[in-house]
């Protein structure tokens, strides 16, 4: 790493801060940028600056928005009776890819994780409750991850939301679709067995 100093060294350092980018990949990206026309690099820099300047959390759901509200919250065709609670803006993209869900979202910006010092006040829970008190939502779908923190968050939300008379559901856990039983790991099979349902 010490071979690179000055301007090139700084570029590699900056690139190396990005997630998933190690020292080798940072070097490769730096050399790639140096080989490009100035206009191409300018475009990239502009795109980064513009995204940073214009994209901010949606005022309602905290998903990424280019204006005051995100494109989902401002879409009148979405079903405002359904609210899906997720940990992270990335999760909204996962749900949207299915084109199955037509309701709205609420991004918590994390999960309860006392070990990391993260409690309810560090998440967008108060904002969620305020939205629910407005009265349009009939069902909250908790789509936090299936780890102990995601589960704790779901249980905590359930306690707060149930008294409001709103239905609270949790995404099912189980076998991947089209998945061969043979390739599923033991805990997945065990939980799928626990959550089995009767055939109609």
CB of 158 to another protein, least distance (A): 9
- Least separation in angstroms between CB 66 and another protein: 35
By beta-carbon proximity to another protein, the closer residue of 19 and 114 is: 114
Residues 70, 130, 132, CA angle at the centre, nearest 5°? 80
Q: Give whichever of 119 and 135 is closer to another protein, judged by the CB atom.
A: 119
Q: How near is the Cβ of 115 to another protein at its closest, in Å?
A: 5
- Could you say whether residue 182 binds another protein (CB under 8 A)? no
Q: Is 37 in the site for another protein (CB under 8 A)?
A: no
Q: How many residues bind to another protein according to rule CB under 8 A?
A: 20
> Measured on CA atoms in the order 114, 164, 140, 171, is the torsion positive or negative?
positive
Using CB under 8 A as the binding rule, the residues of this chain from 138 to 167 that contact another protein are 148-149, 151-156, 159
Please, what is the minimum distance in Å from the beta carbon of residue 112 to another protein?
7
Q: How many residues does the chain have?
A: 200
Residues from 71 through 90 that contact another protein (CB under 8 A): none
Of 23, 119, 176, 179, the one binding another protein by CB under 8 A? 119
Examine residue 55 and tell whether it contacts another protein (CB under 8 A).
Answer: no
d(CA 140, CA 176): 23
Given the rule CB under 8 A, which residues bind another protein? Answer: 112-115, 117, 119-120, 148-149, 151-156, 159, 185-187, 190
């Amino acid at each position: 790493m010490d071979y690179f100093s000055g301007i090139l060294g700084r570029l590699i350092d900056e690139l190396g801060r990005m997630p998933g980018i190690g020292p080798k990949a940072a070097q490769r990206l730096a050399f790639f940028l140096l080989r490009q026309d100035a206009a191409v690099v300018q475009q990239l820099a502009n795109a980064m600056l513009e995204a940073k300047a214009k994209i901010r959390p949606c005022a309602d759901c905290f998903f990424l928005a280019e204006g005051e509200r995100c494109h989902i919250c401002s879409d009148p065709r979405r079903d405002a009776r359904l609210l899906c609670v997720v940990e992270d803006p990335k999760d909204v993209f996962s749900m949207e890819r299915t084109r199955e869900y037509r309701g709205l979202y609420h991004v918590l910006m994390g999960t309860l994780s006392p070990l990391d010092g993260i409690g309810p006040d560090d998440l967008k829970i108060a904002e969620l409750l305020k939205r629910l008190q407005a009265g349009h939502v009939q069902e909250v779908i908790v789509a936090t991850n299936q780890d102990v923190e995601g589960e704790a968050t779901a249980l905590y939300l359930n306690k707060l939301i149930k008294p409001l008379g709103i239905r609270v559901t949790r995404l099912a856990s189980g076998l991947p679709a089209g998945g061969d039983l043979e390739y599923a790991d033991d805990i997945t099979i065990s939980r799928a067995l626990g959550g089995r349902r009767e055939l109609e």
